Amino acid sequence: MNDEVFDFEATLAEALAAIDVGPHCSCAEVTAEVLRRAIAMESPVLQFAAAGFGGGLAGSGSICGAFSAGIVAIGMVLGERERSEGCISETIAPVIQAYYDDWIDRHGSVLCSSLTGYASMRDENIRDEFFAGGGQERCTDNYIRFAVERTLQVVNARRE
């Protein structure tokens, strides 16, 4: 990310215009694409890496896709920037732990089912109900925004 002030709404609109061509893009994909644009990553590899987390890991209601996309982005950015050799989990563990703790402090859970109120997003009718009931807007306003902003804080702080 450059030194300009990050405009979440504008970047979100650009990301959605670019990727939201299906019936429903997942929170993981949207978060990844907003982050890819904010961090100025050339390749859509972040979106591919995060895509399976939509609806809480393959629609299961488990770990939130927006939360997971943030973790994937942190790992990718720090891995590219720091070029550590060998096992890097200990290198990034404090950063990921802080991200997790901040998420829990704000939202109370990392489980999609707890955050959305839906046990699973695997059934198309459930997904349709979620989207029709404003689920996408709640996820964007709460979870996607938080994941993007906190991830950018983490990767920018690690740069300094």
Residue 109 lies in a domain: yes
Residue 26 lies in a domain: yes
Highest mean pLDDT among 27-36, 74-83, 121-130, 151-160: 27-36
Residue 38 confidence (pLDDT) = 92
Residue-number span of the structural domain to which 25 is assigned: 8-159
Which tens digits make up the pLDDT trace of 58-70? 889 999 999 999 9
| Total-model pTM | 0.88
Q: Using H for helix, E for strand and C for coil, what is the string for the chain? A: CCCCCCCHHHHHHHHHHHHCCCCCCCHHHHHHHHHHHHHCCCCCHHHHHHHHHCCCCCCCCCECHHHHHHHHHHHHHHHHHHCCCCCCHHHHHHHHHHHHHHHHHHHCCCEHHHHHCCCCCCCHHHHHHHHHCCHHHHHHHHHHHHHHHHHHHHHHHHHC
Q: How far apart, in Å, do the first and last CA atoms of the chain sit?
A: 13
Number of domains in the chain: 1
Residue 34 confidence (pLDDT) = 93
Q: How far is CA 11 from CA 2, 16, 131, 132, in A?
A: 14, 9, 21, 24
**Rounded Cα gap, residues 160 and 96, in angstroms:** 17
Residue 3 lies in a domain: no
Residue 2 confidence (pLDDT) = 45
Residue 14 lies in a domain: yes
Residue 1 confidence (pLDDT) above 50: no
Residue 21 confidence (pLDDT) = 63
Residue 150 confidence (pLDDT) = 95
Residue 125 lies in a domain: yes
**pLDDT above 90 coverage of the chain, percent:** 38
Residue 123 confidence (pLDDT) above 70: yes
